[in-house]
Amino acid sequence: MTDITSQTEAALAAIAAATSLDALEAERLEALGKKGWVSLALKTLGGMSPEERTAAAPAIQSARAAIADALEAKKAALEAAALEEQLARETIDLTLPAVAAPKGSVHPVSQVMDELAEIFADLGFAVATGPEIEDDWHNFTALNMDETHPARAMHDTFYFPDKSADGKDILLRTHTSPVQIRSMLEQGAPIRIIAPGRVYRSDSDATHTPMFHQVEGLVIDKDIHLGHLKWTLETFFKAFFEREDIVLRLRPSYFPFTEPSVEVDVGYSTEGGRRVVGGHGDAPGHAWMEIGGSGMVNARVLEFAGLEPGEWQGFAFGLGIDRIAMLKYGMNDLRAFFDGDPRWLAHYGFSPFDQPTLSAGVGAKA
């Protein structure tokens, strides 16, 4: 009995004095390991008479519990001290110059938006914006899609569970076209704006993502016709792709908010596995890529926006910014745009000092 008491006291003292996890482990093995003295003492219980065992067992059990508790407490204390020491050692000096730090870059979508603004500003367009959280009146109804209109179903809309204070459905805008309505209501006519921004649809594959970017264009004036639309888009694409052999194909289409409506495709070649814009899409080795929708603003939309259709008319277009960025800078998968992979950004990103200007070239790569 005295033996166990003094051995326990010695073990507890050694545990308290241990200065490393290794030293603590040695103490554990010495007492509680397979061949440790507590384990051996426990084994002797088997050979004792029941009376002897009843007398001896509690002392051995409590020695084991006391040593195990002490080991656990000391281990926690040593680990906490090691962490403190590591934290003190690994301080970062934030005042050091960031010579070796990774370089930030401008995302191709931001770069293309700046390029768009630069080119359209030169054509006399102002940049307009609207909210990404819209109501269904601006996103659909005022664009000639009433509640039962089948085109609403084609937009795979994300709705919010609650309605606005005035009872309208709230949604993430599915296109930039509601900015047409907001601009006409705010400014009246004449008008010449582009509205780049984020839009949302429940849609995902290599060329569709749930969030993507569009740029809306709207021109309202007197005597505007489809020829103005075609010239504007062609002039824009020639400046944007910095080449003269841009061929656009306008395909008859349908949008509730334009009449007539045309879909815009651009011709590109696929030589060497890379898409290069230019040339007629039906020529050998060439194809067409859909980049947007457009048309003459529907008279009903002008009325919703408070303009007199007998007096004013105009054209509108909506282009997929991510699609034209892919065509210009050669990415194949739209989903990688939004993965945030630093290797992708380092490869496709732009230097913040490389601001697009018409004189220096709208797409000069760093």
CA trace torsion 32, 35, 36, 40 (10° rounding):
100
The Cβ of residue 283 has, within 10 Å, a number of other Cβ atoms equal to 11
User: Given candidates 105, 294, 298, 313, which one binds ligand FA5 under the rule CB under 6 A?
Assistant: 294
Out of 125, 236, 255, 268, which residue is the one contacting ligand FA5 (CB under 6 A)?
255
Q: Which is nearer to ligand FA5, 25 or 290 (CB)?
A: 290
Size of the site for ligand FA5 (CB under 6 A): 23
Angle value at C-alpha 315, between 314 and 321, nearest 5 degrees: 150
Question: Judged by CB under 6 A, does residue 354 bind ligand FA5?
Answer: no
Is the CB of 295 or the CB of 349 nearer to ligand FA5? 295
User: Biggest alpha carbon distance in the chain?
Assistant: 115
Among 197, 295, 314, 356, binds ligand FA5 (CB under 6 A): 295
CB of 248 vs ligand FA5, minimal distance in Å: 13
Could you say whether residue 28 binds ligand FA5 (CB under 6 A)? Answer: no
Per-residue binding string, ligand FA5, 207-226, x by CB under 6 A, is -xx--x-x------------
Is there binding between residue 175 and ligand FA5 (CB under 6 A)?
A: yes
CB-nearer residue toward ligand FA5: 57 or 299: 299
CA dist., res. 137 & res. 244, Å (int): 41
Identify residues 177-206 at the interface with ligand FA5 (CB under 6 A).
Answer: 177, 201, 203
Q: How far apart are CA 31 and CA 27, in angstroms?
A: 6
* Closer Cβ to ligand FA5, 8 or 214, answer by number: 214
Strand duo 276-277 + 258-269: pairing = antiparallel
208 vs 228, beta carbon nearer ligand FA5: 208
Which residue type is seen at 122? D
CA atoms within 13 A on the CB side of 287: 10
260 φψ region: left (φ > 0), alpha (ψ -120 to 50), beta (else): beta
For strands 286-297 and 258-269, give the pairing.
antiparallel
Residue in 36, 130, 279, 293 binding ligand FA5, rule: CB under 6 A: 293
Over the range 179-204, which residues count as b (16 or more CB within 10 Å of their CB) and which as e? Answer: bbbbbbeeeebebbbbbbbebbbeee
The answer to whether 264 and 292 have CB atoms below 8 angstroms apart is: yes
Of 105 and 174, CB closest to ligand FA5: 174
Q: Which of residues 307-326 bind ligand FA5 (CB under 6 A)?
A: 316-318, 320, 322-323
- Closest residue to ligand FA5, Cβ-based? 320
Interface with ligand FA5 (CB under 6 A): 175, 177, 201, 203, 208-209, 212, 214, 255, 258, 290-295, 316-318, 320, 322-323, 334
